[in-house]
Amino acid sequence: MLKLLIGNKNYSSWSMRTWVLLKQAGIPFEEVMVRFDSFDDDSKFKETLRAVTPVGRAPVLIDDGFAVWDTLAIAEYLADKFPEKQLWPQQAKARARARSICTEMHSGFTALRSNCPMNVEACLPQVGALAWRDKPGLRADVQRIVGMWTELLEQNKGPMLFGEFSIPDAYFAPVGMRIKNYALPVPGHITDYIRRVCALPGVKAWIDGALAEKDFLDFEEPYRTSR
């Protein structure tokens, strides 16, 4: 069976992508949660992950002793291993567009990431309002996301970005969590898409797991002192 090493569900957006992809696609796997203690080189988190990957980061997929790290590499590996799951859109241009936006997410949207850290459990509208007011980069990131999602939902007629669930929906699920929990202002059809994503069984299972953790890590939450 596949094994997936992840970080805390409440905080780890990168882990969420691959976990949701596996869960929603119905691919069996064993979950191994490696708790964030710190990201220092001598942390238990780094020590545990460096036993299976030289980069020491989550997530890591292990298939019969073979390790695959980085969310894009994991998504491609799963698409190759389980072609019947149709994890990428089937039409060539749609598939190319799906890869393009996943790569854009992978390397960009740094203002959204830094100003609205992943936190499934928290409701942070005041933090979001201040960041929205003071951080033009955040507003630009959200504007790009709104434009991207709007175009894809209109072209592909929903309910997901490419019609049916695919890798991009898993990839952008943590973005939806940020927009929702920080109450960032977006149009109603974007809120509706986020609501549909959160209702997916795979995403709902991740959210439920995050809410059950009850773990507070101060270095992940600069905006409050306790849960």
Please tell me whether residues 111 and 133 are part of one structural domain: yes
- Separation CA 113–CA 12 (nearest Å): 11
**Least trusted range by pLDDT, from 94-108, 155-169, 174-188, 210-224:** 210-224
146 and 112 in contact (C-beta within 8 Å)?
no
As separate numbers, helices (DSSP H) first and strands (DSSP E) second, the chain gives 10, 4
Instruction: Write the DSSP symbol of residue 219.
Output: G
Residues 99 and 187 in one domain: yes
One-letter amino acid at 118 equals M
Helix, strand, coil percentages for the chain (3-state, nearest 5):
55, 10, 35
Task: Kindly report which listed range (47-51, 100-104, 153-157, 221-225) carries the lowest average pLDDT score.
Answer: 221-225
pLDDT above 90 as % of the chain: 85
The rounded distance, in Å, linking the Cα atoms of 16 and 9 is 7
13 φψ region: left (φ > 0), alpha (ψ -120 to 50), beta (else): alpha
Extract the tokens encoding 91: 């039409």
Do 73 and 162 reside in the same domain of the chain?
A: no
Strands (E), the chain: 2-6, 29-33, 60-63, 66-69
Regarding whether 204 and 104 lie in a shared domain, the answer is yes
110, 104 contact by CB (below 8 A)? no
Q: Are residues 196 and 124 located together in one domain of the fold? A: yes
CATH code, domain carrying 121: 1.20.1050.10
Global pTM reads 0.94
225 within some domain: no
- The pLDDT assigned to 39 comes to 79
162 forms beta bridges with 164
Task: Please check the confidence at residue 138 and state whether its pLDDT lies above 90.
Answer: yes
Domain that holds residue 112: 92-208
CB 192 within 8 A of CB 160: no
Query: Which residues on neighbouring strands pair with residue 4, listed in sequence order?
Result: 31, 61
Query: Same domain, yes or no, for 103 and 191?
Result: yes
pLDDT at 226 exceeding the cut of 90: no
The sign one gets for the Cα dihedral 88, 93, 96, 98 is: negative
Question: C-alpha distances in angstroms, 122 versus 34, 48, 134, 214, 218?
Answer: 21, 28, 21, 11, 13
Domain count, the chain: 2
Indicate the pLDDT class of residue 214, thresholds 50, 70 and 90.
confident
pLDDT of residue 63: 98
Q: Is residue 58 in a domain?
A: yes
Question: Where is average pLDDT lowest: 30-34, 42-46, 71-75, 80-84?
Answer: 42-46
33-48: average pLDDT: 86
